[in-house]
Amino acid sequence: MKASGAGRAVPRSVAIIGGGPAGAQCARRLAEAGLAATLFEPRIAFEKPCGGGVPARAMARFPFLLDPRLPVKAIGTCALVAPSGRETELPLPDPLYVFSRADLHTHLIDRALAAGARLERARVLSFSREGAGVGRGGADGWRLRTAGAVHGPFDYLVGADGASGGVGRSLAGGPRQGGLTQGIGYYVPGLVEERITLKFYEGLHGYLWVFPRGDHASAGICGTLGERPVADLRALMDRWLAERYGPGIPERSERYAALIPGALPGTGQAPLQGDGWALVGDATRLVDPLTREGIYYAMLSGEMLADALARGRPGEYAAAWRSRQSEELAWAGRHAEGFFDRRFSERLVALCAASPRLARVLADLISGRQPYRGLKRRLLLAAPLVAVEALLRLRRVRGRRSTDRSGDGCGPADASRPGHGTQGTPPARRSSRDRRRPESAAGGA
């Protein structure tokens, strides 16, 4: 460690286990600050089982993700499908950006290396701390063992090896119960759309998704771990994909499966750091438990830790996270159960179809522009106009139904009857936003 004045100590060397968004962003930021950062990641251009969606707030915070060399698909429409099969399309004024995780990981690691970080293409088998310890005047620190080599010593250790990695379990005192999601899916070649799709099911604390990428789509389904057998989740997904896109998707697609962490409500959050070490991203469950979105939080946590280390005040990382993000994720954890309730999802889809104002609120949630903590106030302020929009739409629908009935010569407004003129009026055509897909096309639970 090198002294930095006012009781601060900046680590001379940092070992980062895991090269995903959290680890790579941490390594890049440390290298830019002049610290020696070594990234341990054995995989090359690796995928991760998820949709790959990055909200607009992440693109604003990390504008280098718009590098033209990094393939990305900007999606401006979201299809919401209720458990009953009722469906509506939601415009996304701020697009959702969908990446191949292999492309994203490669890009982030390349940026870290360009900034001066080192990369060890090796899996860490074990690690230990020796000597007087970091910041205590000792010459030793963290040593990491890989196949055939021992690396170190390092002044500081960062765990960025994801929900299934061993660093968090070793440093934070074992796994935390609850908050884990089982995700399974397919990389579907040739499935190219201009919208994302989210499908809800009765009794499922999760959802089905289809996220189009460049030349393929990520289609998957997730639910609370242990809630339903994996075979049942796959049956729901296969049935719906066959009804929507035709048979044969499982046979021609690559499968994936993974555990997805989620921030726990209240005081259940795992520790972020300790003496000489810290966790970032999925390794410490910095994932939205409602949407299961984690790329933004992973990159943000890696950056916040690196900045605290560069200032020589590593303990400020946990404090900064608690003040800026912890309550946001805890709110999502407390309300996730109600969000996936059938009655709520049915009403949500119906009201978004009826009210552009409510649709905009949901679009802002998807983009990250609308924080959870301010959601209740915004909904209360919007409630009168949402009610008016819903009532007006209901009247339009009833008027169209009345016109449809009159067109067959049996309705009270039949223009061929005396007193109604001599020229009939053709019934109004329904817009695509007012149509309800048949059950066989939308797929019920």
Strands 156-159 and 277-279: parallel
Domain architecture of the chain: domains with CATH: 1-52+100-177+266-339 (3.50.50.60), 69-99+181-260+342-411+427-445 (no CATH)
| Burial group, residue 254, by CB count within 10 angstroms (0-12, 13-18, 19+) | exposed
Nearest one of 272, 307, 39, 289 to 171, comparing CA atoms: 272
Residue 247 dihedral angles phi and psi, to the nearest 5°: -75, 165
Alpha carbon distances (Å) from 145 to 31, 96, 153, 435: 23, 40, 11, 60
Q: What is the pLDDT along the chain (445 residues), one digit of tens a residue?
A: 554 444 467 899 999 999 999 999 999 999 999 999 999 999 887 777 678 899 999 999 999 999 999 999 999 999 999 999 999 999 999 999 999 988 999 999 999 999 999 999 999 999 999 874 444 444 579 999 999 899 999 999 999 998 878 898 888 865 455 668 889 999 999 998 999 999 999 999 999 999 999 889 999 999 988 889 999 999 999 999 999 999 999 999 999 988 887 766 554 456 899 999 999 998 888 888 888 888 999 999 999 999 999 999 999 999 999 888 878 888 888 888 888 999 999 999 999 999 999 999 999 988 888 888 888 888 888 888 888 877 877 677 666 666 666 655 444 444 333 333 333 334 443 333 444 444 333 333 3
Whole-model pTM?
0.81
Residue with tokens 């205590």, as numbered in its chain:
136
